[in-house]
C-alpha cells in the first residue's frame, strides 16, 4: 500500500483530518487556520477547562476573537446544504487515531537549573505512539534543541508498533500485517516545523508568516510541505529536522544577544548620565549595518528567554561551551534585579525604605497589547519586590487577574480601570513594565497624578514628555 500517495491525495482534497495537540498561543491559532481553510480539525489539550469554553465558541486568548471559533463550531444551512462543524476540542487523546496529520504544539519550558524540560513533548509523543497507525504524518512545532524530533519522537513511534506486535504475539493470535514495525518515510511520516507565532502582531498572521519545514526523510518532507502549503502562503523546505530546529534557535538567540547588548549598554550609560534610548535613535539613522534593538525590564514570551539555554545545554553534549550565548542569557535574566535596584535607589533618595512602600506595576503581560504572561519579567519583579517587603499592586487592562503559572501563584487582581487615575497619588512609586498603547493614550494623566515613575520602556520619553517625575531604567 502506498501510504504517501494516499495521504497526499487526502491533503490535496482537504479530506485529511488534522489533530493539533496543545491549544495555547501556538496551537489554537494554527487549529483555527486549518479549519478556516476547509480542513476538519480536532484540537487536543490536557487542560479540561479549555474544552467547554471552546465548545461554546468562546476564546480564552484576548487577541483571538471568539467570532473565529464560533464560525467553525456552529453548523448552518446554506441552499439546503449543511456546513459541518470544522473544529472541535477534546481531552480524549484516543481521537488521534482518527487524525491523518498530527501537529504537536506544546510548551518547552526550563527547569529550575535552566535545563530543557521536554516532558510535554515526551508525553505528547507517547500519546501519539499509543494511537499511531500507518499513513499518518506527525509534525513537531515546539521550540526545542537540535535533534529532538529524531532522538525523542522517532524512537517512540518506531518502538510503539513493535511493542503492540509483541502483545498480539503473547496472546497466541495470528499477527496482523498492520502491526509490523513502522518505517519512517514509508508507513508513517515525521517532520519538524518551528512555530513563528507572534501574539498580537497585526501585520502578520499564521498564514502569512513563512513556514520552515524539515523532514526525517525526503518523503516526510514532501508530505509536510504539501500539508502546510494548503494553509501557509510560503513554505521554506530545509534539508533536515535538525536544520529546522536550529533555525528557530538562531532566530531567537539573535534577538536575545542583541537585546542583552542594549540592556548592558543601558546600565553603563545610566551610570554615565546618558540616555540609551536617545543613543539608539541617533544610531539607527545610519542607513546600513545597524538594526535597532531596545532595552527593557527583562525578556518575556516562550522563546527568547528560553531558546538560548536549549542550545547551550545541547552544545555541552558535544563538549562545546556557548560563552557568548550564555552571557547574553545571564544579562537578560538579571534585568528584573536591575529594576529592583533602581526602585530601591529612588526610594532611598526620598528617604524611604522599600519595606512597606506602596508600589504600582503598570503592565504584567510580556509585551504590549496582549494578555500573554509567559516568562513575563513583571512576574519576577513582583516576586522580588514582595520579598523585600513592598506592598505591590498592578494595573493591566489585558490581565484582570494573575493566574497560577508553573513558577508563580500570586492570587492578585488588577486594580479597576475606573480607579486607576484616582489611586495613583497613593503610591510611593509607579513602575512602568509593559508599554501597552493604553498607557501612552493616558500618559498625561499618569504623569500628573503619580509621585514618581520608573519607566523601563521609555514610553513617556517617546511621547515627548520631559518631567522630573520620570526616571528611566
Instruction: Clarify whether residues 136 and 49 are in a common domain.
Output: yes
Note down the domain range covering 357. 251-472
Q: pLDDT per residue over 335-359, tens digit each?
A: 999 999 999 999 999 999 999 999 9
373 and 414 assigned to the same domain:
yes
CB atoms within 10 A of CB 266: 24
Residue 463: pLDDT band by 50, 70, 90 thresholds? low
The verdict on 32 and 115 lying in the same domain is: yes
Domain closes at, from 210, 239, 268? 239
The answer to whether 443 touches 432, Cβ cutoff 8 Å, is no
Q: How far is CA 408 from the centre of its chain?
A: 17
What pLDDT was estimated at residue 202? 86
Query: Does residue 216 lie within any of the structural domains?
Result: yes
User: 473 vs 178, which has greater pLDDT?
Assistant: 473
Point out the least confidently predicted range of 40-54, 65-79, 266-280: 65-79
Residue 82: pLDDT over 70: no
Most confident of 1-5, 163-167, 426-430: 426-430
Annotated catalytic residue within 99, 220, 241, 303: 303
Residues of the chain with pLDDT > 90, as a percent, come to: 83
Q: Is residue 412 part of a domain?
A: yes
303 is catalytic: yes
Q: Is the pLDDT of residue 83 over 70?
A: no
Which pLDDT score is estimated for 177? 46
Decide if 313 is inside a domain: yes
pLDDT at 417: 94
Residue 220 has pLDDT above 80, yes or no: yes
* Mean per-residue pLDDT of the chain: 92
- 41 falls within a domain: yes
Q: Give the residue, 29 or 307, on which the prediction is more confident.
A: 29
Tell me, yes or no, whether 43 and 22 share the same domain: yes
pLDDT at 79: 44
Looking at the fold, whether 233 and 255 belong to one and the same domain comes out as no
Last residue of a domain, one of 239, 268, 289: 239
- 3-state SS, one letter per residue, for the chain: CCHHHHHHHHHHCCCCEEEEECCCCCHHHHHHHHHHCCCEEEEECCCCCHHHHHHCCCCCCCCCCHHHHHHHHCCEEECCEEECCCEEEECCHHHHHHCCEEEECCCCCECCCCCECCHHHHHHHHHHHHHCCCCEEEEECCCCCCCHHHHHHHHHHHHHHHHHHHHHHHCCCCCCHHHCCCCECCCEEEEECCCCCCCCCCCCCCCCCCEEEEECCHHHHHHHHHHHHCCCCCEEECCCHHHHHHHHHHHHHHHHHHHHHHHHHHHHHHHHCCCHHHHHHHHCCCCCCCCCCCCCCCCCCCCCCCHHHHHHHHHHCCCCCCHHHHHHHHHHHHHHHHHHHHHHHHHHHCCCCCCCCEEEEECCCCCCCCCCCCCCHHHHHHHHHHHCCCEEEEECCCCCECCCCCCCCCCCECCCHHHHHHHHHHCCEEEECCCCHHHHHCHHHHHHHCCCEEECCCHHHHCCCCCCCEEEC
Report the CATH number at residue 225: 3.40.50.720
What pLDDT, on the 0 to 100 scale, is given for residue 80?
44
Q: Please indicate, yes or no, if residue 7 is contained in any of the structural domains.
A: yes
- What's the confidence (pLDDT) of residue 292? 97
257 with 218, same domain? no
* pLDDT higher than threshold 60 for residue 394: yes
pLDDT recorded at residue 163: 60
Residue 250: CB atoms within 10 Å? 11
pLDDT computed for residue 159 by the predictor = 84
Nearest alpha-carbon partner for 297 in 331, 346, 325, 328 = 331
The pLDDT assigned to 184 comes to 96
Residue 123 reports pLDDT greater than 50: yes
* 438-447 per-position pLDDT tens digit: 999 999 999 9
Considering the domain architecture, whether residues 325 and 424 belong to the same structural domain is answered as: yes
Least confident of 56-70, 152-166, 229-243, 374-388: 152-166
pLDDT at residue 416 in the model: 95
289 pLDDT more than 90: yes
407 shares a domain with 321: yes
Identify the band that residue 465 occupies on the pLDDT scale cut at 50, 70 and 90: low
Give the integer Cα–Cα distance in Å for 208 and 234: 7
| Number of independent structural domains in the chain | 2
Q: Where do we find the cell 525578556? A: 299
Same domain, 161 and 278: no
Would you say residue 228 lies in a domain?
A: yes
- Averaged pLDDT, 392-403: 96
Bigger pLDDT: 217 or 159? 217
Q: Which of 212, 239, 266 is the last residue of a domain?
A: 239
Q: Is the domain of 302 the same as that of 444?
A: yes
- Examine the pLDDT at 78 and tell me if it is beyond 60: no
Let me know whether 216 and 266 are in one domain: no
Residue 246, in any domain of the structure = no
- Whether the per-residue pLDDT at 170 is higher than 70: the answer is no
Q: Is residue 245 part of a domain?
A: no
Are 255 and 176 found together in one domain?
no
Residues 83, 47: contact at Cβ < 8 Å?
Answer: no
Amino acid at each position: 500500500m502506498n501510504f504517501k500517495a494516499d495521504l497526499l491525495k487526502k491533503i490535496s482534497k482537504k479530506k485529511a483530518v488534522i489533530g493539533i495537540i496543545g491549544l495555547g498561543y501556538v496551537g489554537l491559532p494554527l487549529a483555527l487556520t486549518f479549519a478556516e481553510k476547509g480542513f476538519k480539525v480536532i484540537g487536543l489539550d490536557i487542560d479540561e477547562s479549555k474544552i467547554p469554553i471552546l465548545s461554546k465558541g468562546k476564546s480564552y486568548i484576548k487577541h483571538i476573537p471568539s467570532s473565529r471559533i464560533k464560525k467553525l463550531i456552529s453548523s448552518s444551512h446554506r441552499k439546503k446544504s449543511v456546513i459541518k462543524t470544522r473544529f472541535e476540542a477534546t481531552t480524549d487523546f484516543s481521537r488521534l487515531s482518527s487524525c491523518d496529520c498530527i501537529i504537536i504544539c506544546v510548551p518547552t519550558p526550563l527547569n529550575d537549573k535552566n535545563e530543557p524540560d521536554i516532558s510535554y513533548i515526551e508525553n505528547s509523543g507517547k500519546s501519539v505512539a499509543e494511537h499511531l497507525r500507518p499513513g499518518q504524518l506527525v509534525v513537531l512545532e515546539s521550540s526545542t534543541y537540535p535533534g529532538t524530533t529524531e532522538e525523542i519522537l522517532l524512537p517512540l513511534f518506531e518502538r510503539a508498533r513493535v511493542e503492540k506486535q509483541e502483545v498480539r504475539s503473547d496472546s497466541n493470535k495470528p499477527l496482523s500485517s498492520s502491526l509490523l514495525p513502522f518505517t519512517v518515510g514509508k508507513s508513517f511520516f515525521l517532520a519538524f516545523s518551528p512555530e513563528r507565532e507572534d501574539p498580537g502582531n497585526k501585520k502578520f498572521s499564521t498564514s502569512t508568516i513563512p513556514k520552515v519545514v524539515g523532514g526525517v526523510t525526503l518523503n516526510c518532507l514532501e508530505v509536510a510541505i504539501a500539508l502546510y502549503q494548503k494553509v501557509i502562503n510560503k513554505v521554506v523546505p530545509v534539508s533536515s529536522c535538525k536544520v529546522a530546529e536550529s533555525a528557530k534557535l538562531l532566530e531567537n538567540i539573535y534577538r536575545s544577544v542583541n537585546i542583552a547588548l542594549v540592556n548592558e549598554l543601558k546600565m553603563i550609560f545610566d551610570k554615565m548620565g546618558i540616555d540609551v534610548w536617545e543613543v539608539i535613535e541617533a544610531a539607527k539613522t545610519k542607513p546600513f549595518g545597524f538594526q535597532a534593538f531596545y532595552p527593557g525590564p527583562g525578556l518575556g514570551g516562550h522563546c527568547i528567554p528560553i531558546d538560548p539555554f536549549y542550545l547551550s545545554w545541547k552544545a555541552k553534549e558535544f563538549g562545546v561551551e556557548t560563552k557568548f550565548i550564555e552571557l547574553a542569557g545571564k544579562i537578560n535574566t538579571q534585568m528584573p534585579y536591575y529594576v529592583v535596584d533602581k526602585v530601591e535607589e529612588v526610594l532611598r533618595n526620598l528617604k524611604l525604605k522599600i519595606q512597606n512602600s506602596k508600589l504600582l506595576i503598570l503592565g504584567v503581560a510580556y509585551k504590549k497589547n496582549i494578555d500573554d504572561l509567559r516568562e513575563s519579567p513583571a512576574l519576577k519583579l513582583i516576586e522580588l519586590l514582595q520579598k523585600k517587603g513592598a506592598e505591590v499592586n498592578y494595573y493591566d487592562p489585558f490581565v484582570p487577574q494573575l493566574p497560577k503559572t508553573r513558577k508563580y501563584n500570586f492570587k492578585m487582581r488588577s486594580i479597576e480601570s475606573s480607579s486607576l487615575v484616582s489611586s495613583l497619588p497613593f503610591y510611593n512609586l509607579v513602575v512602568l513594565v509593559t508599554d501597552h498603547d493604553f498607557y501612552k493614550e493616558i500618559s498625561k494623566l499618569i504623569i500628573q497624578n503619580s509621585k514618581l515613575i520608573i519607566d523601563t520602556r521609555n514610553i513617556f520619553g517617546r511621547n515627548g514628555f520631559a518631567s522630573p517625575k520620570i526616571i528611566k531604567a
